Structures are given as structure tokens and as C-alpha cells.
Structure 1
Amino acid sequence: MNSIQDSYVLSNGVKIPCVGFGTWKLLNDEHTVDVVKTAIDCGYRHIDTAFSYKNDIAVGKAIRECGLKRSEIFVTSKLDNPSHGYENTLKEFDITMNNLGIEYLDLYLIHWPRPIMFRENWKAVNEGSWKAFEELYQSGKIRAIGVSNFLEHHIDALLDTATIAPMVDQLELHPQYVQEDAVNYCKDHRIIVEAWSPLLRGQMDNPLLINIAKKYNKSVAQLLLRWSIQHGFLPLPKASSVDRMKENADIFDFEISKEDIEEMKSLESLGRTGAHPDTAQF
């Protein structure tokens, strides 16, 4: 990989840009339209949103007005927790597409495997949602389908009835939380791994990370994103300023040494920054 526009290739042959632009916590307003347009101007070609972010109208407007062809932007959205199940999935997908105002999605993910309202029957409702996903994919409304926050047992349950395997799994991944078992499972099943919270939700004041970043004349954010790339992950950083967007894209002119990667493993004791997929209270 030499730039944020270089791509991984999904199991169905679809290319997916190796760094995405995250939109979590961006509001559904003109500011978000401007932020997403600016990201595209800075070279980002992969925009990640979700129904639960409640900003898809603004994100869609930015994509439509950015000046590029629709085919030049890779757009991801995600199914919200209350809409699991076959019929609910189809209904929410229609709302998502109307909000975005685009003809197709490049990638659609089940956002969480085991929402609190479906805690006991999660396998059955995921089966229904995935059936809807497969139909939407086969009809050409989605170019690729996948999951988010699914661990091995969640994917195994899905594969019991699926006819198409997930092509992506979006997981919390950073030096504090490496999820080796889930990552290795995905690699074994030809599932591309995306990294959410690659910048530790902004908690980047760790002395170890600061010192290692200085070795490469890079910021901690650049160090963390490079860590993702070197592990074969697809990071989804978020930024609001042009300077930060450009900084987050400037991660291809250095390589973290094996020694520094090893030293960063000491951070694993700090653990995740978000919820666990089996116990999330939403």
C-alpha cells in the first residue's frame, strides 16, 4: 500500500480503499457535508457511516455534491440494532438509501451481532437479516456484504445458514486491543478486517506511543494508523480539520520496526475502549 486510495480486494473481487474516513459522532448538518467533502478533497475515497449515526442525509449530500463520479467513492453503511430480522432489515435499507440519495451501497454491515433487545434470539434474527443482505447483494443494490463487531462464534452461527460468507468484519482494533483470535479467524475465512477506533478515541497521550512516534518524526495518530496498515487492517480514522485529514493520510513513507511493534504489545493490558459484542447495553 502506497496511499489511502490503494485497495484491498474482497473475496468477491471488489476493491476497497485501504483507509476509510469515519463519520461517527458527526451530526446530520451542513458542517458534516463540508467535512466529508473536505475529506474527499484530501484524497479519501472510502466513507463509512451507519444508520445509528443519524447523519446519512448529510453524508449522502456530500457524496453527491463532491464532484466525483459515484463509482469513485466507496460507501459503507450499517444496519441498526432495532432493525434485525428479515423484514426490518429490508425496511431500514430502503430508508438508508433514501437518506443517502445514492443508487447503491458499496458495503452493508450488520452493526452489532447481539443487540440487547435480541439477546436471547440473536442467531435467528441475524439469520433473517443476512437473508435480506444476500437478496440485496444478489439484486445489485449492494456490492459487498459483511458484519461489524462479530467474533468467531457470531460468524460461525451466521455461516450455519448463509449461502454467501461475510466479506468484511469491522472490529475495535488498536495496540491496546488486538483481538488476535478474531483477526486470525477472519484471515482464515478470507474476511477483510476493518479497524474502528484506530486512534484510541483520541486518547493518544501515552508516553510509550509518544516516544515511538518521535523516532519516525510522526504523530501518535500516524503511528497508530501505520500500526493498522502493517497488521493488514483497514483503519477508519475520523478528523474534522484539513490538517488532521492530511496527517492521517500521510502514513506510507515509514515502517514501524519489529522491535517497536513488540514494545507496543505492552499496551494490550489497557484493553478496549468500547463495548463487548456479547454484553453491549444497546
Structure 2
Amino acid sequence: MRAALRRSIRLPGVLLWLLLGSLLAAACALAKRLNMDSATTMRRNFCLLWMRGMLALLPVRIYRHGDLPDKPALWLSNHISWVDILVLGASARVQFLSKQEVRRWPLLGWLAASAGTLFLKRGAGAAAELRVQLSQQLQQRQSMVIFAEGTTTDGSRVLPFHSRLLDTEQPALRIQPIALSYRRAGQADQLIPFVGDDEFTSHLWQLLGSPTIEAHLHLLPALEMHAQTSRKRLAHTTQQQIADILGVPAVKRRREPQSTEVSRITANAPEVCATDLAWH
């Protein structure tokens, strides 16, 4: 009964907000086509406001631990649900990196493209394309958050991070580890995870009937990657740090990467971005 009441209150607002998002996306597309100087800034501001509005309509409240960074960087995060994107997108102006398949999703794919999402193709040349895309965004002082596990989990573990996602043309790079978790009544929330064969509309329907869920966003001390730094080691290091702060196991690869030095830095990192729903 309570779930039905919650849905009756939340659903109209979510539908109207999706409609507003479509109108804002159309306005951004028009501004870009007209080559307006303010097109990029307008898109980023609209995206931030829309994400915050959508999150306010859902039963999810953010609890942030640590300060938001203020310089360009790659943010590496664990991945539990599509809600992760709203949580990160509502926290700062963001840029998304997603799998190519998301572009073909009805409405959501168009909204993602209009928000400036970068779509990564699979197969030959994908790694080179990713390297160029990441480098271009960093050169424009636009940070990106990457869900480096390549898929979602139920939050009970952190899967190995894909080191290829750290491959850029930048001689030095700031890495910002981020740990996400969701809790309700002091326990890990079982509804938020979006894994396996879960279907989006069904998952959203259940979420609309849920009591308030706490989204905990942990910003860990930043790391610095240089040309000589092993990407595999850095991916392993950030995975382990995130697992430690969440108090869950870090799933190991069959073969551990070779050790190399990764220096910790005290400076904060940038306004940011989120990635996709799955990389395989």
C-alpha cells in the first residue's frame, strides 16, 4: 500500500522531468547546430540541473565523504546501478563515456547523446579511439569518471579494473578514485543494484515505490600517473583502495600486475563525468 502511494506521487514528476529533459536536449542540439559559443556551457549546466532534479524526484539522497576535486582528472569508480550516473551527475558537471549500444536505446540514448556522451565502439581501433577521446576531453579541462569494472555488481565486491581505460596521450594524469555504496536502515540496499538481466522500466518502477535510500559517495585521495607508471598496477591499486573503503573484497585477476610506484597527491581533482552501463 505504501509502495503504491509513493509511486502515485513520484511517477508524474518523473515523467514530466523526462519530458523537460527532451526539450532541453533539443535546445542544446539546436544551439550546437547554430554554432553558438555558449552551446557547450549551456549543455553542461542543463545536464547538471536535470540530473539534480531527477535525483530529487527519486528516493535517493547523496551523502558525500570528502571534497569534490577542482582540477581535470580521470575519476575511477565502482559500478552498481544506472543510478550511479545520476549520483555523480548531480554532484558536478559531467562528461559521460558509454558503450556504443546505449546510443540506440529509445529516448535514453538520445538524451545521453544530447548531454555530450562519448560513445565507444568495440572491435579493431576501439582502444585508439578511446585514447584520443580521453585526451581531447582532458585537454579541454573536462574531467571524466570511468566505471572501470566494465559492468555492474551488487556492491558486495569490486571487480578488477580495466587498465585500458587509463590509456591516454597525456604525459601526466591525475586519477581520482571514487567509492559508491547504497544503504537503507543501516544495511546495504538490495534494490538499487542493476545487474544481469534486469530491465530498466521494471527496475525504475520498483525504485519509485521504495523508501529513501542513502547514496554514499566517497572521494579518496588522488593518485598521479606518469608516462612510466604501469596502467595495470594503477588499476589494481585504485580497485583495492575502493574495496577497502567499502569493506568488501577486491576480486583479483589470475595474474597480478607488476609492481610500480604510484604516488599519492594531496591536491583535489576536477569537475567530472560518468561512464557507461557496461563494457561487454
TM over 0.5: no
Between Structure 1 and Structure 2, the one with more helix by share is: 1
Between Structure 1 and Structure 2, the one with more strand by share is: 2
Higher relative contact order (CA 8 A, sep 6+): 2
* TM superposition score normalised by structure 2: 0.31
